[in-house]
Chain A
Amino acid sequence: MAPFAGYEMPISYPTGAVEEHAITRRSVGLFDIDHMGQFEVSGPGADAYVARMVSAKTSDMEAPMARYSLLLDERGLVLDDLFIYKLESSWWIVVNASNREQDLAWFMEHKTPGVTITDHSDATYMIAVQGPNAIALLDKVGAPAVSALERFTWGRIRIDSIDILFGRTGYTGEDGGELFFPAEHAERLWNYLLEKGGELGIETKPIGLAARDSLRFEAGMPLHGHEISQSINAIEAGFKWACDFEKDFIGKQALLDIISAGPSRKLVGIEVTGGVPREGYEVAGADGTIIGRCVAGMYCPTVKKYAANAFVEPAFAKSGTAVKVIIRGQPKDAVVVKRPLYIPAYRR
């Protein structure tokens, strides 16, 4: 167990990080992600307010759509990444645990008339059920069937008499979803899913933070504090696609300026031979000059590679560029590669 954003969380269960990663890719992994935050935004001014606050396109969003977005400041720097759900008559916004307080303060600071913001984080539990068998498991234990939901939509279901908001999204690159429900039912639902998986012969195991990191890393998803952060802008991190330049949103002008001038560094994937690249390790060009730094790195159990995400000078950002990663004082051969290393289920 280790402290994370004010919570004690398992880095891995006795199963071990590498096997937990494999279980999620072959069957079902359960993730206790209650540390994350949930806000509800409602009122007559909500649509216009949310559109201005988040980077993603919202004008086309109707229930039951859900979408990934960034939360930017006026300089285009990433305060957080979010999932936004258009509920029946409100917006459900899911934020990272580590940024929950600051996000709420930011939302409140920019609140416009006709907008009500409710923090549901403490009352709401969140569990992710991810893997190629996740939808099949949930279909068997709950109703209505989540298999009827399109990716990136939500539905209201019941499992073991518990009312659940289910979003068919995830952070692993596998199919499955994220479940929001009243916190008092947490242990019951968690145990129920594990037991039912066992009974039905669907391998279902709890997954810790280490595997959560390697799963999202392989699938090309960012982790705030690493690929995105309050000192990283959306363009250099490669998130132009998550921004709707047809609307006005906080950070828009700053991003346009960065696009016009060109970013001063770029986020790339790097594959290394001869060691494990990790956060903070420097990246050198072929001549030994330092041209970047890793923000995350690890052994990737599914693609069986040692890889990192790094910010590098734009001249080194092209796939196929030979670089070195300095691993504990030793330069190791590496090459810039396309991300993601593992194609997420929703793209297959």
Chain B
Amino acid sequence: MSIDANARYAESHEYARIDGAAVVCGISDHAQAELGDIVFIELPAVGKSLKKGENFGTVESVKAASDLYMPISGTIAEVNDALHADPALVNREPYGAGWLIKITPADLSEMDKLMDAKTYGKTIGEE
């Protein structure tokens, strides 16, 4: 199970990674594996402001639907349009091309409240 060392992680398995002025957010490799084949993703409108912990969308797999939660507060700067036609990209490249949203952060210090890669690894049972 791969973990992006450059990202920080929420308990609900979203990751957040600083990318210039924005924070890229997606779901971890562990999360995509648990979900199974992803068949539909609902993402928020660009410009929407959401707080840490608020629901920003849904990921639907063959077996179930899962809510997505903001790892930090901010405004939606960009959403990954490629996921309309190819939701399985999240399964294949959760940390790369399968990113979900880019956030303009309201308070970057919220990143400190997320788990670092090593701690996240421990919570999902990795070494």
Contact = CB atoms under 8 A, between A and B. Distances in A.
B63 interface: yes
A16 B65 CA distance: 17
B74 to A, nearest CB: 24
Contacts of B37: 12, 16-19
A298 B64 CA distance: 10
Given A17-B37, A18-B88, A274 B42 contact: yes
B63 A210 contact: yes
Contact of B65 (A11, A17, A19, A328): A328
B88 A306 contact: no
A328 B36 contact: no
Nearest to A2: B63
A312 interface: no
A214 B36 CA distance: 15
Interface string B22-38: 00000000000000110
A299 B62 contact: yes
Interface string A12-47: 100011110000000000000000000000000000
Contact of B40 (A12, A214, A299, A301): A299
Interface residues of A, number: 17
A275 B42 contact: yes
Contacts of B60: 275-276, 299
A10 B39 CA distance: 20
Contacts of A275: 40, 42, 58, 60
B42 A17 contact: no
A12 B65 contact: no
Nearest to B85: A304
Interface string A194-218: 0000000000000000100010000
Interface in A63-86: none
Given A299-B62, A328-B65, A12 B36 contact: yes
B93 to A, nearest CB: 15
- A-B CB proximity, top 6 nearest: A299-B39, A18-B37, A276-B60, A17-B62, A16-B37, A276-B40
